[in-house]
Chain A
Amino acid sequence: MTNSPRFWEKTLLAIRKADWEAVYRTELPRIYNYFRYHVGDARLAEDLTAETFEKAWKNRHQYRNDLSAFSTWLFTIARNLASDYFRRARDEVSLENAVNVSDDEPLESLVQRRSDIEKLSMLLGQLSDRDRELVALKYGAGLTNRKIAQLQGISESNVGTILHRVMQQLRTAWEKRS
């Protein structure tokens, strides 16, 4: 109790009861699949996911008002990492580890699934950066159009329009190659 008065402060800090394990369980698959849709490779998606969480986790309690800021922070970090990654190594993406192999899965099915994923990854790779980002947020992270609009700074209807157009484009290309 020897600190000078200037060190005495009043702090009002509302801390929601935060079940961080539940947050982790919820956000991990979203962040992971966000990267999956960006990079295809499962191990690379794991590395980027781990980097994202490690950057965010140690300061998670600073988000006083809600867990939403933490979730947004995760996605902000993830998007920056994805962007950095593509700047560094766009052409080095490997599909070697694109599929998690289950011991129980028949070889024929596994081969078919790997082939399909390679095809989808190739089609996704042909999208523009913005379109692929939207697809990753929608189908990888599972965000609503409203949330994507907030993250991207564009209108919700704009998100819907772009995604509709991108899906048409992907569907056509997919059927052509089937």
Chain B
Amino acid sequence: MNDDFIHLMYQSPSPEFARSLYTKLMQGEEDHPVIQQHQAAKRIATIAVATLCLITLILMVSPTARVTALTVMHDIIEKITVRGVTVLVSDEPPNTQPAEESVSYSMVWSPLSPDRISSDHPFFAKLPGWVPSGYVLQEQAALYYASIIETPPSSALFQWENEIGELIQLEVMQGSCLNGQFHDPDDLLHDRRSDCTLAIYITVRPENKQEVLTVHDQPAVFFHGIMGIADLSGPVQTWNPSRWKSFDDGTNGLTLIWENEGRTYSLITVSTTMTKQDLLHLAESIP
């Protein structure tokens, strides 16, 4: 039988409506937190320029200051040439409160087991060959999708836990920024960088300086502490990887981020025993 009749109701929105609504939506953009971040970045850039002017004046009168300044500048240059990762030191209090509604909107991820991800989505199945003793890979793994519509997944999240509830989380994300560093304080989201299919934006408190390490011969950003992790608590089918568990204490945990072969990896641990070497060992064991 012919079911064409059911499609009679379907019609495209009128172009006038689509255009006017989009214009209206984009007019409200100035109220958005991203713009606040943008403004914060501009403030930082302004301060940086002012500081540079001051340093220049000092250099003109003091040879000792000149040597010190060259050392500092070398350090800065090294940091901003980290490929694929933007590192921003900021004194802006980040918005640690997730959207009130976000806890409820947990539908567009698939609570798959790591085995299913390995078999059905091998691109994301980049599991380490080594984890510290006592940590067990959890059944709560997830695939995130870029859209509710049928699209390929955009990332996978795996979690390991030990007997006392300490965690390791590995997110394997599709995408990277292949054509060199993109530190750009005026464009934190890199929406206009056509070569970047994924950008990571990090702010690090200054007392916990980030280090540039190497994983699989690729630059990797390491720093002490995390702000939060995806909260995977609860039984399978009810837990919600879109739920974000924040930490008030910025000294918790370790973070390592790097890119390799079109993927960006984020490795986070909330543990009193794991070290930087453990994190590197784990990262290097990912094939």
Q: Check B109 for interface membership: any CB of A closer than 8 A.
A: yes
A10/B208 contact (C-beta < 8 A), A69-B108, A72-B108, A116-B8 known: yes
Contact of A12 with B6 in the complex, beta carbons under 8 Å:
no
A139/B93 contact (C-beta < 8 A), A9-B205, A68-B144 known: no
Contact of B202 with A11 in the complex, beta carbons under 8 Å:
yes
Within 8 A of B (CB), among A98-119: 100, 113, 116-117
Q: Check B207 for interface membership: any CB of A closer than 8 A.
A: yes
- B residues near A170, Cβ cutoff 8 Å: 5-6
Contact of B146 with A29 in the complex, beta carbons under 8 Å:
no
- A42 nearest in chain B by CB position: B11
Bound Cα distance from A46 to B11, whole angstroms: 12
Contact of B202 with A100 in the complex, beta carbons under 8 Å:
no
- A residues near B11, Cβ cutoff 8 Å: 33, 36, 42, 100
- A residues near B39, Cβ cutoff 8 Å: none
Checking B91, B93, B148, B198 against A143 with a beta-carbon cut-off of 8 angstroms, the contacting residue is: B148
- A residues near B147, Cβ cutoff 8 Å: 23, 26, 67-68, 71
Bound Cα distance from A174 to B7, whole angstroms: 13
Chain A: residues with Cβ within 8 Å of the partner, total of 72
Contact of B93 with A120 in the complex, beta carbons under 8 Å:
no
Contact of B94 with A15 in the complex, beta carbons under 8 Å:
no
Bound Cα distance from A2 to B266, whole angstroms: 31
- A residues near B108, Cβ cutoff 8 Å: 66, 68-69, 71-72, 147, 150
Contact of A121 with B9 in the complex, beta carbons under 8 Å:
yes
Bound Cα distance from A67 to B174, whole angstroms: 13
Checking A9, A40, A63 against B94 with a beta-carbon cut-off of 8 angstroms, the contacting residue is: A9
- A residues near B28, Cβ cutoff 8 Å: 54, 57-58
Contact of A76 with B105 in the complex, beta carbons under 8 Å:
yes
Contact with A along B142-158 (1 / 0, CB 8 A): 00111111100011000
Other than the known A9-B93, A11-B227, what 6 A-B pairs have Cβ atoms closer than 8 Å?
Answer: A14-B198, A14-B264, A49-B21, A69-B108, A100-B14, A139-B10
A contact residues vs B (CB 8 Å cutoff)? 1-3, 5, 7-19, 21, 23-24, 26, 28-30, 32-33, 36-37, 40, 42, 46, 49-50, 53-54, 57-59, 61-69, 71-73, 75-76, 100, 113, 116-117, 120-121, 124, 135, 139-140, 142-144, 147, 150-151, 167, 170-171, 174
Q: Nearest 10 A-B pairs (CB), nearest first?
A: A68-B108, A71-B148, A8-B205, A11-B94, A68-B145, A66-B144, A72-B107, A11-B203, A32-B13, A62-B99
A-B contact pairs, 22 of them (CB 8 A): A5-B205, A9-B205, A10-B225, A11-B203, A12-B227, A13-B203, A14-B173, A15-B200, A16-B198, A16-B199, A24-B22, A24-B25, A29-B12, A46-B17, A49-B17, A50-B21, A61-B189, A68-B146, A117-B8, A120-B9, A140-B10, A171-B5
